[in-house]
Amino acid sequence: MVDRLLGRLRRLTYKNSSRVHMQRVNEAFARSVPAGARVLDAGAGSCPYRELFDHAVYESADLQGVDKPYGEITYCCDLRNIPVEDGTFDFILFNQTLEHMAEPQAALKELARVLKPGGRLLCTAPLFYEEHEAPHDYFRFTQFAHRYLFEEAGFEIERLEWLEGYLGTLAHQLDRAAIALPYHASAYGLGASRWLMPPTAVSIKLLFTLLSGLMSRLDARHRFTDAGYPKNYVVVARRLPEPATPAT
């Protein structure tokens, strides 16, 4: 009964600000893509941003290795071995996929291979998020990891910043805590806490649900980035041209 009421309250109050900001950055990236350009959505999953690229030639690649819904995938392949020629694409989307690469450096080098020199890539990847899509969840990335990995793969970073603000990170943590906090007395060991904590947990769950709803809605409107840490980073990078071959 309590879980049903809290679930209803969560649905009324919580707004996933990550999805709001993800939509915004993908819309902005799509506006930079000229008509007829060839776009690869790498790790496309359900292809949620496909419609943003109706003016372009949209193609997708995914291994389809976990049990979840997928869109119409052009290339069912490992992202370390995409079956196209060098420099095939003008732009690449790489959303929420880097953490699922057992060899992220190899995947980025392959994306650099299939992207034209001067082509641009949009990447979003988590710094703070629970394990998901098991067993293919390997890494979380700081801004320094992003810079190192992209530069080593042959990219120049044009933009590297928080996707959400800290209120979005806090909202997510409170939301997860409200769901995970146990009711049953055995979770709290022996002594008085065994009997005091279950009713206290109900109050804490209610408080966390309300706070996560408030923080998530605030973050969807304004990214507070002066303190704390983001849930995700967003990277826009440009493929560097191949070094000139010395004259003989």
pLDDT in tens, 162-178: 999 999 999 999 999 99
Please state, in angstroms and rounded to a whole number, the distance separating the CA atoms of residues 58 and 64: 18
Integer CA distances (angstroms), 175 to 45, 168, 200, 205, 206, in order: 25, 10, 17, 9, 10
User: What is the arithmetic mean of pLDDT over 30-44?
Assistant: 98
Tell me the pLDDT of the chain averaged across its residues. 93
**Does the structure show a pLDDT above 70 at 114?**
yes
For the record, the structure tokens of 13 come out as 């109050």
Q: What percent of the chain has pLDDT over 70?
A: 96
Nearest residue to 163 (alpha-carbon basis) of 236, 101, 100, 97: 236
What structural domains and CATH numbers belong to the chain? 1-16+166-222 (no CATH), 32-164+227-239 (3.40.50.150)
Q: What is the largest CA-CA distance in the chain?
A: 84
pLDDT band of residue 245 (cuts 50, 70, 90) is low
Specify burial of residue 213 (Cβ count, 10 A radius: 0-12, 13-18, 19+): buried
Please state, in angstroms and rounded to a whole number, the distance separating the CA atoms of residues 165 and 21: 10
Nearest residue to 217 (alpha-carbon basis) of 7, 10, 4, 28: 10
Per-residue model confidence (pLDDT) at position 174:
96
Q: Which amino acid, one-letter code, is at 245?
A: T
Q: What percent of the chain has pLDDT over 90?
A: 78
Nearest residue to 25 (alpha-carbon basis) of 233, 214, 248, 215: 233
User: What is the arithmetic mean of pLDDT over 11-19?
Assistant: 92
User: What is the arithmetic mean of pLDDT over 97-108?
Assistant: 98
pTM comes to 0.91
What radius of gyration do the chain's Cα atoms show? 21
Of the two residues 185 and 51, the one the predictor is more confident about is 51
Per-residue model confidence (pLDDT) at position 247:
61
pLDDT band of residue 6 (cuts 50, 70, 90) is confident
pLDDT, tens digit (0-9, with 9 covering 90-100), for 193-234: 677 877 888 899 999 999 999 999 999 999 999 999 999 999
Specify burial of residue 42 (Cβ count, 10 A radius: 0-12, 13-18, 19+): buried
User: What is the arithmetic mean of pLDDT over 26-39?
Assistant: 98
Cβ neighbours, 10 Å, residue 235: 24
Of the two residues 134 and 190, the one the predictor is more confident about is 134
Q: Which of the 8 DSSP states describes residue 114? A: H
pLDDT, tens digit (0-9, with 9 covering 90-100), for 141-152: 999 999 999 999
**Does the structure show a pLDDT above 70 at 248?**
no
What is the three-class DSSP state of 172? helix
Under 8 Å between Cβ of 163 and 18: yes
Integer CA distances (angstroms), 127 to 14, 34, 98, 143, 150, in order: 21, 31, 11, 9, 16
